[in-house]
Amino acid sequence: MHLYFRILRYIRPYLVPLFGSILCIILFTIFNSAFQISIIPFLNTIFKSPQQTALQTSEPPSLSPANSDASNTLSKKNRFAGTQDLVKEKFFRFFQGDDPDTALHRICVVILLITLFKNLFAYLQRYLMALVEESIIRDIRNDLYRQISLQSLRFFSRTRTGQIISRITNDVSLLNGGVSASFVTLIKNPLAIIASLAIAFYLSWQLTLIALIVAPLSIGIISWIGLRLRKQSTLSQEKMADVTSVLQETISGARVVKAFAMEQFEINKFVRETQSYFKTLLRISRTRNLASPLTEFLGTIVAVGILWFGGRQVLQGNIMSPEEFIGFLVIILSVMTPVKELSSVHTRLQEALAAGERIFEVIDLQPEIRNVAKPVHLHTFNHAIEFDKVSFTYNKGDFFLSDISVTIEKGRVLALVGPSGGGKSTFADLVPRFYDPTAGVIRIDGTDIRQMEIASLRNQMGIVTQETILFNDTVFGNIAYGLSDKKESEVTAAAKIANAHEFILELPQKYQTNIGERGIELSGGQRQRLAIARAVLKNPPILILDEATSALDTQSEVLVQQAIERLMKNRTSIVIAHRLSTILNADCILVLDKGKIVQSGTHQELIHKPGLYQKLYQMQFKV
């Protein structure tokens, strides 16, 4: 229940359209009830002969002297019944008028007006409720995306992409069904049922009580179905996340799939996941669709009972007139539709609650990397970056970095080399605080970076990685990413420094050319130069280069290396490189192996010392 009320908290900004929708529901219910009641005078006018109608008009039974004493006696015995008869009499006299033709015309006009207003308020109710529902779902989806975006890299490494996408799309869609059920079905349908039952009670309380016999049994069945459905819905969403994961992996890895001719393997894997999802959907459908036919069957039993019992009473003239009995049946049968819809509400709510649990599990997840209560704003970088006995592990197991102590002075170039898995990328990831050290402290200008405001810290840094991340946007938009205030001349200047300007001018629309998802329209070297141009435009005092040229051909590497050298001028740089040729002029080289610094010094110092760096140098340069 707490989860349900938490979802409803999102309604606060939209109380005005919600109350407007509720008002329209009330007015719709009033006109719908009037439409049901109008059936009785219509039947009364159609079924009675002109002579009977004229006789009733000229000599109403309630006003005749012969019936006066009987009416008074009835009033004393049953005041309610007498009042009921008086209301009926006035009601019918209004519709009957002076003759059957007048009565028929009057009834048709009234029905037409009632239908007009009924549908007008139905339309307004749907529109206002849609405004409320979609606004709530939009806000929940935005909160979910915002919280996902704020998570640390550890969250994304532990959580499959398919799971994340499934929660934003499928889970939120299921939640939308629950919100709709809450605000429409749980307000509109009960009002319709109450109004219809009130009219039915007015016409015959005995028959109405018979109709209510089915209610407790229906509620029990619906509750049982809802509990089963909630468990099945949770499993279904997990299966959908598996399908989404396979789809995302296949699309992003399309080149590898085709290179190894694994299309059929991936197809078979996807078919297995969709088959598993299909089975869960069938179980949900089997359970969900059980409520409505059971409720209808139970209702039919009651309707048949009413027909049998009520029909006998009408034939004997004990309860009501034939037209009133037919009107009663129409009203009771009209209750079946909202009752059937209510029978599905519980199942939809259970599905929504299962989705809500998954959504709020993420919304409630506090990012591992977040600002302290009163963070320090880093305006400029003036002195040095200091690693003080820093150690780090991802999963409380073996350390990826162990007892690292090093100081990087402003304007200096620190190069990191060593075998794969030695801790180079982890070292670089700690500086912009993608992760926090397991032990030790990283300081910038003497301040622990954990005390700094995260955005201000990262604004001082430019990062260029081996895996270039570009977006489905124009060349201009990718270079000026996050820097919307930059002018075209500044973007062009950055592209020239990055050796990107010439190839950009050859594109169909130059800087306004859309480069496709992940920059698929460009070569690897072109993508890398755009990433460098992005870093140039940001103009950060601290630069992190993570194997920026390792995946390029010789010609592209030359162009990119020239761009990098221009970018590194007058900047404090941390460079990760497998190719030692790119770091020969570094001020300090750290050789990392198994998370520890095994050697440090300049290139000239290290090549003359026996050790790992000398071996790497001899392997690459064939010395």
Instruction: Give the pLDDT mean for 298-327.
Output: 68
Is the confidence at residue 144, as pLDDT, over 60? yes
- Tell me what the mean pLDDT of segment 590-617 comes to: 87
Please answer whether residues 385 and 362 qualify as being in contact, where contact means their C-beta atoms are separated by less than 8 angstroms. Answer: no
Residue 6 confidence class, pLDDT cut points 50, 70, 90? confident
Q: What is the mean pLDDT of residues 513-528?
A: 77
Confidence of residue 471 (pLDDT cuts 50, 70, 90): confident
Residue 61: pLDDT band by 50, 70, 90 thresholds?
A: very low
Using the predicted structure, report yes or no on whether residue 528 has a pLDDT greater than 70: yes
pLDDT per position as a tens digit, 158-178? 777 777 887 887 788 777 777
- 319 CB burial (10 A radius; 0-12, 13-18, 19+): middle
pLDDT at 49: 43
Write out the DSSP string of 439-505.
Answer: EEEEEETTEEGGGB-HHHHHTTEEEEESS----SSBHHHHHTTT-TT--HHHHHHHHHHTT-HHHHH
Q: Tell me which of 356 and 86 has the higher pLDDT.
A: 356
Point out the least confidently predicted range of 174-188, 350-364, 440-454.
174-188
Which of residues 306 and 132 earns the better pLDDT score?
A: 132
In this predicted structure, what is the pLDDT of residue 214? 57
| pLDDT given for residue 450 in this prediction | 92
Domain 384-621 CATH class label: alpha beta
Q: Look at residues 360, 454, 367 and name the one whose alpha carbon lies nearest to residue 143.
A: 360
Q: Does 71 have pLDDT greater than 50?
A: no
* CATH superfamily of the domain spanning 2-363: ABC transporter type 1, transmembrane domain (1.20.1560.10)
pLDDT in tens, 223-276: 566 556 556 666 666 666 667 777 766 666 665 666 556 677 777 877 887 787
**Both tokens assigned to 616:** 């790497």
Cβ-Cβ contacts under 8 Å for 118 (sequence gap 6 or more): 28, 31, 32, 35
Q: What ranges do the domains of the chain cover?
A: 2-363, 384-621
Evaluate whether 2-363 and 384-621 have a shared fold.
no
Percent of the chain scoring above 70 in pLDDT: 69
What percent of the chain has a predicted confidence (pLDDT) above 90? 6
Which range of 102-111, 350-359, 514-523 scores highest in mean pLDDT? It is 350-359
Say how far apart CA 294 and CA 193 lie, in whole Å.
18
For residue 12, what pLDDT is reported? 85
What's the whole-number average pLDDT of the chain?
76
Model confidence at 419: pLDDT above 70? yes
* pTM to 2 decimal places: 0.67
